[in-house]
Structure 1
Amino acid sequence: MRLLPLLALLAATPVLAAQPAPPTALHCGHLFDSRSGEVLGAHTVLVRDGKVAAVTPGRDPVAGATSIDLSGHTCTPGWTDLHVHLGSQSSPDSYSEGFRLDDVDYAYRSVGYAEKTLLAGFTSVRDLGGDVTPHLRDAINNGLVTGPRIWAAGKSIATTGGHADPTNGYNSTLSHVLGPPGPTEGVINSVEDARQAVRQRYKDGSDVIKITATGGVLSYAKSGDAPQFMLDELKAIVKTASDYGYKVAAHAHGEEGMRRAVEAGVTSIEHGTYMSDEVMSLMKKNGTWYIPTIHAGRFVADKAKVDGYFPEVVRPKAARIGALIQDTAARAYKAGVKMAFGTDMGVGPHGDNAREFLYLVEAGIPAAVALQMATIRAAEVLGVDDQGVIETGQRADIVAVPGNPVQDIDAVLDVAFVMKDGVVYKQPGESME
């Protein structure tokens, strides 16, 4: 992809004018303690220089501080979505756009998607696959555009013909002209390829490694669950990733591909549709995380009913696999598998991420646990210790919703306040539109 003009184009994009005004005192009616999962009473959170400077019970006046009244709200740590794709969004045109759009088109779209995600309460995301997103991450970090903190995978690693092979569906003439993709393009077929692909992601500036351990729902291929790596290839990916300090996220629907990925030592299983009791036990033994992405499952199952939304090779997979993920999440929670929050947004519409909380609760997961999955548990998956809780010295990533989301989880759909690194991006009374 031609990415040279990307930053110049993004620099011309308007950004929100909000600036930090330290110190800032947030007067919260309630405070969600993500360590205990309890909703505490009124607290004042003092923010200075992008960090939480103090957390005190009650409404504590702070001399010289800008006060923000959140007395009718519950303050929580900023939420993290561990599975998004900010460079795209599903539509009936998705499969043809790759032949018509340039990288700059995807870049412009990603700017809007990023802002919607932040204003929905998600101050951090892990983007698991997209060539544009590492550049979007850099633009956000440089203050050129508005969006969440991003851990970017860049191009996902796949096998020939597997989910994330970028040439799936190409005709023979186009395939002949372009030639078979290799490790540079994220497609491998050997242990040596596996090592090279990880090293290429390092060269490209990725923050995390994403692999597609099984077939996928939306790829232009028949199988949605067959294993797509040999165990030695997976071990080579994980070992090489470890050398560079990377964690590995594994897209996986089928049982055998999941088993191999867990045995190889991946950090997380994404989707996990056909997760068996045996795989769950192995995940508990190895400490592997599970990111359900119920929203994506429900979205594709619903769209599979719409004529023409998906190609016919995709439609039966979407109908069959998508409908099962919520049940898998329920079983995994009961089995004690470690779980954290992710949506696969980009499959569904960006900005709708918080609806995953409702689906988790529908699956029998307590609202407090669902909130922990998007805060302190997500921080554990990322391997960071400076976010996910509202405590002195932590990043000032804070979200507020009306009422008490533990008692009424629907409150998460009405985010009233968003702060990231001490900068206020949304206050009560402001619309997301």
Structure 2
Amino acid sequence: MEKGDPPVVQRIIDAARVLTGTGRACSPGSVVVDGPSIAWVGDTGDLPANFSDPTIERLVLSDATVLPALIDAHVQLTPRRAVLAANPTACDALVRGGVATVRDFGAPGPAASGPGPRVLSSGTLLTGDRGHGRTHGEIATLDDVEYLIDENHRRGATWISVQVTGSLTDGGECSPYELHFTDDRLTAIVHAAHDRELPVAAHAHGSVGIRQAVEAGVDSIEHCTWLTSGGFELDPGLVRALAARGIPVCPTISHHSRHTGNRLPWRQRQAHLRRMAEAGVPLLPGTNADGHRIAHGRFADALAAWTELGLTPARILESATRQAAQALGVGHLTGTLEVGKHADLIAVRGNPTQCLDVLAAPVLVMTDGHLHDLAALADQSEDARIPVADVRQVSLL
């Protein structure tokens, strides 16, 4: 995969400001990259003498901000139609958009190593026998639970994905406000996953599904639209439970979310998410991009919608970097610029803590110490497809 430069042992990046993601800002700041990792970060004037060797490559970005690369907590790298057709998956758009880590709910299995986005695979979706995603991992018995989770684990999944309610986009027999599983069956799924040290992401639109997922002990809730047969109704008690238990919610907001009409009215959704944020529910940015209905590479446009939830750009950035990394189980690897962590970083012109729009056009993207050639990526058409082997599967160990 020719997407950037060959690896170098050391590189220094100087910038007008460096946002470490830990609450520290260095202006001007520098980051020293040694292979795949960060060797030093701080104020440029404090750069240690051992990094003054003139043979070390130095990149000077005098009008830019360096910050942790972004994390999209909900994508579908291979939509079902592509899985069935055995088509390859595109990842270059994610890199162009400054995204270095994704949690994938689309591809049927984990990806091989290579420069590109870090992929947290969920393997085969677990679903009921009449609902959304039933072409994937249909569960009818407890034996099915054990088999499918073991199979996902064997294939390298780092999350287990379970469809708790019907979907808004699929014509399954199970509606978005009806349950796929009994309480006991969902609890068995969660326990089986946790026994294998795998966290569980529950896809739940309906309020009954959100409640069931919370009570079963899942590790994140996807969509969380509070849908009932009578409309969209927020449950304050459930919001308090989500906050008290620290269960992250990924509401899957994309650049389309403000224009979905009556199917998912943005004004009502906005009010619900504001109340959840005010209550202390951890909210994770995730686009639900599948390369078809929702394009990959539009993460910055999706983050712009978050400003309408009453959140500051700085808080939104934290949600899309440090907080997302911690919630997804990779906080020890990425999400902040700290010594020893992987060199996943981007540079943008301007200050993203004042205006998130600058995130739409990174001038530098680095994943795992690999500096990507953005000009070459830009030459690829929007429909370019890159094999699944060109993304790297992460181990949580």
Contact 1:250-1:270 within 8 A present in 2 as well: yes
Match of 2:192 among 240, 251, 264: 240
Counterpart residue number, 2:301: 355
Contact 2:26 2:42 in 1 (8 A): no
Q: Are residues 1:381 and 2:327 paired?
A: yes
Please state if 1:165 is matched with 2:134: yes
Could you tell me which residue of structure 1 aligns to residue 139 of structure 2? 188
1:50 Cα deviation from its structure 2 partner: 1.1
Asked if 1:205 corresponds to 2:191, the answer is: no
| Compared CA separation, residues 42 and 430, structure 1 to 2 (3 A) | farther
Measured against aligned partners, the alpha-carbon deviations of 1:260-291 in whole angstroms (never above 9, x if no partner) come to: 10111111011111152121111122221111
Q: What TM-score, normalized to structure 2?
A: 0.85
Structure 1 counterpart SS, 2:326: helix
- Matching residue within 30, 33, 36 for 1:47: 33
SS of the residue 1:272 aligns to: strand
Q: 1:40 to 1:327 in 2, by over 3 A?
A: farther
Secondary structure at 1:295 match in 2: coil
Moved over 6 A (4+): none
Distance 2:308 2:377 in 1: 28
Contact 1:416-1:430 within 8 A present in 2 as well = no
On the 8 A contact 1:267/1:288 being kept in 2, the answer is yes
| 2:22 aligned partner, one-letter code | R
2:43 to 49, 52, 57: 57
1:414 aligns with 2:361: yes
Q: Which residue of 2 aligns with 1:122?
A: 99
CA distance in 1, matches of 2:211, 2:256: 21
1:383-402 alignment, distance < 5 Å:
383-384=329-330, 385-402=332-349
Equivalent pair of 1:85/1:344 in contact (CA under 8 Å): yes
Could you tell me how far apart the structure 2 residues matched to 1:260 and 1:411 are?
Answer: 40
The corresponding residue for 1:371 is 317
Cα shift at 1:373: 1.0
- Equivalent residues of 1:293, 1:325 under 8 A apart: no
Query: For residues 104 and 120 of structure 2, what CA distance do their matches in structure 1 show?
Result: 6
- Give 1:127 shift: 0.1
Q: Structure 2: any 5+ residue segments left out of the alignment?
A: 227-233, 380-397
Q: How many residues align?
A: 362
Distance 1:39 1:277 in 2: 37
2:61 match: 70
Q: Is the 8 A contact 1:41 1:57 kept in 2?
A: yes
Of residues 165, 178, 197 in structure 2, which corresponds to 1:214? 165
Whether the 8 Å CA contact 2:92–2:377 is kept in 1: the answer is no
What SS does the corresponding residue of 1:18 show, helix, strand or coil? coil
CA distance in 2, matches of 1:291, 1:390: 23
Any conservation in 1 of the 2:105–2:161 contact (CA below 8 Å)?
A: yes
The residue type paired with residue 285 of structure 1 is A
Q: What letter corresponds to residue 28 of structure 2 in structure 1?
A: A
TM-score (normalised: structure 1): 0.78
Aligned-pair identity in percent equals: 29
Matches within 5 A, 1:11-26: 14-26=1-13
Amino acid at match of 1:333: A
Once the two structures are TM-superposed, the CA of residue 56 in structure 1 deviates from its matched residue by 2.6
CA-atom RMSD in angstroms: 2.3
Distance 1:16 1:430, change over 3 A: closer
Give secondary structure in 1 for the equivalent of 2:299: coil
Q: Which has the higher contact order (CA 8 A, sep 6+)?
A: 2
Which of the pair is proportionally richer in helix? Answer: 1
Q: Is the 8 A contact 1:25 1:62 kept in 2?
A: no
Q: Which amino acid aligns with 2:277?
A: Y
Q: Is the 8 A contact 2:17 2:64 kept in 1?
A: yes
